Amino acid sequence: MEKNEKKEEELKYFVRVNNVDLDGTKAVQIALTRIDGIGRRTARVITTCAKVNPRAQMGRLSEEEVDRIRKVVGSYTNIAPAWMMNRPADVYTGESKHLFGTDVVTAREDDVNRMRKIRCYRGIRHELGQKVRGQRTRSTGRTGATVGVIRKKE
């Protein structure tokens, strides 16, 4: 009975990594995907480099293991190859880098604003709120009030 109570005390329900509270009840690999810029594959690489079991519960990790994860997330750009980066050739610097958290959102907004400013096709489509990637717009993607078919009264 005492061992079971001790295990429950060890579980941290929130683990802070890269300014994001991660769910301590989930597996490390799944919990890391809560951070913007980290998907399943990136999370797997991070756990492998940090030498942490990807299926272990996040809240049961020791502080040393969590620190290793933080260190790997901080230096992910140096560890991973260029094809695994979410920004393989940055527009302004030309170097490969991987963005996390609010940097992803900021970079996306900057990219859209740059496209609007240079008046490229994609920028114009963003401005108009239309589909950007060549999808059809005749029957799908409609917003606003729905217009139905009106029947004749007999």
- Of 128 and 151, the structure prediction assigns the larger pLDDT to 128
What is the predicted pLDDT for the residue at 151?
A: 78
pLDDT tier for residue 141 given thresholds of 50, 70 and 90 = confident
What is the predicted pLDDT for the residue at 2?
A: 55
pLDDT tens-digit series, residues 47-101: 999 999 999 999 999 999 999 999 999 999 999 999 999 998 888 889 999 999 9
21 CB contacts (<8 Å, ≥6 apart)?
14, 15
What is the predicted pLDDT for the residue at 91?
A: 87
CB 30 within 8 A of CB 3: no
Count the Cβ atoms, other than its own, within 10 Å of residue 42: 22
What are the domain boundaries of the chain? Answer: 2-83, 86-128
User: What is the DSSP pairing of strand 14-17 with strand 20-23?
Assistant: antiparallel
What is the predicted pLDDT for the residue at 7?
A: 52
The CATH code for residues 2-83 is: 1.10.8.50
Q: Which residues partner with 87 through β-bridges?
A: 97
Task: State the first-to-last Cα distance of the chain, in angstroms, to the nearest integer.
Answer: 77
CB 47 within 8 A of CB 35: no
The whole-angstrom separation of Cα 120 and Cα 125 is 9
The whole-angstrom separation of Cα 96 and Cα 84 is 10
17 CB contacts (<8 Å, ≥6 apart)?
32, 35, 66, 69, 70, 73
CB 1 within 8 A of CB 50: no
pTM score > 0.85 for this model? no
Q: Answer whether residue 1 shows pLDDT above 80.
A: no
Q: Which residues partner with 97 through β-bridges?
A: 87
